[in-house]
Amino acid sequence: MTQEGMYRVAAVKSVAFDRDSHKLILADGQSRRGVDFDDFLVHSDDLKGMRPPELKDVLRRAMGGGDVVVNVTHDDSVDEEYSVAEPISFRFSAGQLAVSVGYATDDYDDDEAATAAFSQLLTPYLKRHRASVAKVEMDPHYVHPLVWNIEISCSPRGRDMADLFQIGEGSLALLQAFESGELTRETTLDLLRSGNAQVLIGQEEGPWLDVKSAHYNLQVPSGKISIAHAVARFANGEHGGIVVVGMRGKKVPGGEIISSICPVPVNGRTLRNYQTAIEQHLYPPPDYLDIEVVPAEGGSLVVLHIPPQPEEHKPFLVHGAIVDGKVEGAFISIVRRRGESSIPITAPAVHATLAAGRALLRRGELPRDAS
């Protein structure tokens, strides 16, 4: 390496470029190059700690402002000729660094239709990650299936290249879930937020998904207790869950599937009514509970998302129980996805007792604030 090249390595901590060998130089001294002049191949582990502005500056100087691609592999060793590159790469073009997702599908045959469809699907997910769809182009090297290169613009603030790669992975997973119907709690939430609830039709209700065809009647105690039960079941579970109000279930052998969309009316008080009912009847309040209105064909749905909860907060207790069709306001319900039971004691007292017991089992001593 020349003295000039060595100086550049020292000056740029997370990544540099050696012009003589045409290689990227990593912070640990390893070097990476690609098959052609205008590309590089790195390992996914190389991205940890690599700062986006520094990579952008390196690529600008390396190519003199021209276009360049940084491909990524998960293979144990990085071989520019034989390693398998992931469908997620980084593209430097027109002075900008973007995440590029290669997605194979024959569902769209022109740029305009593909751009509209992919943007609608990905925007809710990308917005939460301070990113957006910048460009969609058909790869001219593929005919069947068509391969679309979806370029994603990401804010680099507070992130390394591994974070940007993860945004690309999440985008690809969401696209694949939309096409295949193989859903997770996270992709289901993104599909709902992007107005693609129809993808859920035919899916089974399960440990993390429940649907209801009409609003809970939040004008009466039984309705308030019912929505608190619905949230508590998932809060007490291992994986959290989603409650969708505005979709109909249908019993089938072995369980229940989602059969149709039946949008529900919403107004300025809808979300607050749900929030108030849960606050009044569920103890403790679940962490990061989201209640939102999402678009659907023909109207709107109400979606309640309950992320997995810390074990030390469990069990979540419901003020009130429904026994033989009657509301028992003095009872406390401890509900789980596979059943429920009721105990006649105040929610704070039950929670304090159980929390103290958990602490005793875990640490061998009672917490100082336990009475």
**How do residues 127-164 score in pLDDT, each as one tens digit?**
989 999 999 999 888 877 889 999 999 999 999 999 99
Regarding whether 247 and 170 lie in a shared domain, the answer is no
Between 204 and 352, residue with greater pLDDT: 204
Whether 329 maps to a domain, the answer reads yes
**Highest mean predicted confidence (pLDDT) among 231-235, 261-265, 356-360, 364-368:** 261-265
Regarding whether 357 and 208 lie in a shared domain, the answer is yes
DSSP symbols for 17-42: EETTTTEEEETTS-EE--SSTTEEEE
The average pLDDT across 62-80 equals 90
Q: Which domain holds residue 86?
A: 33-180
Whether 149 maps to a domain, the answer reads yes
Regarding whether 175 and 208 lie in a shared domain, the answer is no
CA distance 117 to 308: 31
The pTM of the whole model exceeds 0.75: no
The chain-wide mean pLDDT, for the chain, equals 87
Regarding whether 296 and 213 lie in a shared domain, the answer is yes
Regarding whether 218 and 161 lie in a shared domain, the answer is no
Regarding whether 135 and 223 lie in a shared domain, the answer is no
Q: What percent of the chain clears pLDDT 70, i.e. is strictly above it?
A: 89
For residue 98, the SS3 value is strand
Regarding whether 227 and 166 lie in a shared domain, the answer is no
Q: Which of 165, 184, 193, 40 is nearest to 101 (CA)?
A: 165
Q: Which residues are bridge partners to 249 per DSSP?
A: 258
Where residue 74 falls among pLDDT bands split at 50, 70, 90?
Answer: very high
Cα R_g (the chain), whole angstroms: 26
Regarding whether 209 and 174 lie in a shared domain, the answer is no
Between 252 and 44, residue with greater pLDDT: 44
Whether 189 maps to a domain, the answer reads no
Spacing of C-alpha 299 from chain mean position: 24
pLDDT at 2 over 60: no
Contacts of 254 (CB under 8 A, 6+ apart): none
Regarding whether 170 and 39 lie in a shared domain, the answer is yes
Whether 4 maps to a domain, the answer reads no
Between 306 and 107, residue with greater pLDDT: 306
CA distance 116 to 113: 5
Regarding whether 171 and 311 lie in a shared domain, the answer is no
CATH of the domain at 317: 3.30.950
pLDDT value at residue 338:
54
pLDDT at 262 over 70: yes
Whether 22 maps to a domain, the answer reads no
DSSP symbols for 318-345: EEEEEETTEEEEEEEEEEETTEEEEESS
Regarding whether 242 and 295 lie in a shared domain, the answer is yes
pLDDT value at residue 312:
87
Whether 18 maps to a domain, the answer reads no
For 351, other C-beta atoms within 10 Å of its C-beta total: 18
Regarding whether 219 and 140 lie in a shared domain, the answer is no
CA distance 29 to 346: 62
pLDDT value at residue 141:
83
Chain position carrying tokens 């409650």: 243
Residue 252 DSSP code:
E
